[in-house]
Amino acid sequence: MKRSTLEFRNLVKEKIVRCVLKNAVRKGDTRILCPCLNCENLEKVLTPDVCVDHLVLRGFVKDYTRWIFHGEPIGISGIEIGRQETREDVNDDDDIKRDRIDSLIDVVQVNFEDEPCVLERLLSDAKKPLYPNCDRFTRLSAVMNLMSLKVENRLSDKSFTALLELLDDMLPEGHVLPKSTYEAKKVMCPIGYDNEKIHACPKDCILYRKKYKDLHKCPKCGTSRYRVKDKDGSCEKKEGSPAKVVWYLPIIPRFKRFFANVNETKKLRWHSEMRKKDGKLRHPADAPQWRTIDRMFPEFGKDCRNLRLGLCTDGMNPFSTLSSQHSTWPVLLCIYNLPPYLCMKRKYLMLLLLIQGPKQPGNDIDVFLEPLIDDLRLFVDEGVMVYDAVAKEDFKLHAILLCTINDFYAYGNLSGYSVKGKKSCPICDQGTIAPWLTYSGKNVYTNYRRFLRRNHPYRRMKKAFNGTVENKMAPIPLEEDEVFQQVKDINVFYGKPNRFEKNAKYKKRSIF
């Protein structure tokens, strides 16, 4: 259709007035970004009539098929522009480089409706050649590869700036590579993961979020939220640095990025579409636990894109010393939908929480898991709308926690079960057999031959074990109602009292 015809003018006017202007009025404005060939949706905010004139005279900006600047939602946002240019120059046999490109030039699932300038700058960097006539790297892909090199080799900001300055002298004139670490990070900022810095009570009583967000002292123990108090000893004013901080990296935007990438989405569907199904246990999808969940929740199991997750946590000393005076707890998440050779790769292990020390959280770790539990409840109860790059559609993603991975003591912290004493086995419960060693002064748990099948040869061995034949059978696991009856009257109080409070309670009990 020619732009000079009256039919074209009426069609454009009708489209702008009915769709674009309607979205602008909803946001409290009567002007819109002009999508003509010269204005290119950048900074010129004009009236609809002027926009119609521009479009008739100049035509639409090239490749503007999804109206993201005029109210149409972003189905897949990010940097697919420039992906083909970069991928064409990657050798198919170079698996390491191809995986690096896949992980770096990822599709970013960010809502830019309120920040069109950020999206425009990001797309511009993805299309802009690194230097004139360069067809191998764009400005964005070059910065992403260099930042990946910085992370993998643990380069300091000073060293990385020196590298960029050296490359500035090597590259031809007219290149657009940043000259400092600060400028490189500004290019990467829209692609970075969001994180939440949550203040916590120093005694692990609460997190200062939701109803406690604006408090300056803990409502349970009265401890100040900040390190520095007022001159009179109170903590009414917001002053000083927080006494304790928890870092939380939300999982929802990270899952959206996974599914917005075609290659990653295919890997997340591998367990259903490409797994070998011959009755042998090669993947968690072959286990009875996986099939039990599909049977109990058929709607969840119907869609192979729904995620099964594993939670991993334990204490560590981040300062690489032999001292045990500091304990920081990272909380990781692994995805079992992936092929077995990728489940535990560093690329797919997601850091969710970083609980700073110096003391371990212990049973109070439930307080720090609140943000993660809220997101997991959202995935279970309502689901999250996610764009599938393979099916090219939006769908409602659900996820469940399939298992936890930890040692026995961390298991006790996560579950709240006592892992010390005679009844420390959560499976055997009251049927735990734990002989006491008088000279060692501890319980030992050695009677686990009863979990073997009835005719197993180990049951008849005497010398290799404790000198007796094992005839006992494994205890029957408790049902849901039996577990509830045991824990229904337990009152949990989070927080760590100080030494004086402990001594006072002990004296009070000893007197009476």
What residue ranges do the domains of the chain occupy? 6-70, 83-191, 249-415, 429-511
- Is pLDDT of 287 > 50? yes
Q: How confident is the model at residue 396 (pLDDT cuts 50, 70, 90)?
A: very high
Q: What is the pLDDT of residue 82?
A: 38
Q: How far apart are CA 237 and CA 228, in angstroms?
A: 10
Q: What is the pLDDT of residue 101?
A: 42
Map residue 379 onto helix, strand or coil. helix
- Is pLDDT of 471 > 60? yes
Q: Judging by DSSP bridges, how do beta strands 384-388 and 393-397 pair with one another?
A: antiparallel
Over range 420-434, report the average pLDDT: 82
Token pair, residue 308, equals 């099964």
Report yes or no on whether pTM surpasses 0.95.
no
Q: What is the pLDDT of residue 377?
A: 92
Q: How confident is the model at residue 162 (pLDDT cuts 50, 70, 90)?
A: very high
Residue type, 276: K
Q: How confident is the model at residue 498 (pLDDT cuts 50, 70, 90)?
A: low
Q: What is the pLDDT of residue 232?
A: 52
State the CB neighbour count (10 A cutoff) for residue 484.
10
214, 226, 351, 437 from 196: Cα distances, Å: 16, 18, 13, 48
Closest CA to 494 of 182, 204, 97: 204
- Is pLDDT of 339 > 60? yes
Q: Answer for the pair 327, 358: CB distance below 8 angstroms, yes or no.
A: yes
Q: What is the pLDDT of residue 274?
A: 86
Residue type, 469: V
Which of 75-84, 400-409, 490-499 reaches the highest mean pLDDT?
Answer: 400-409
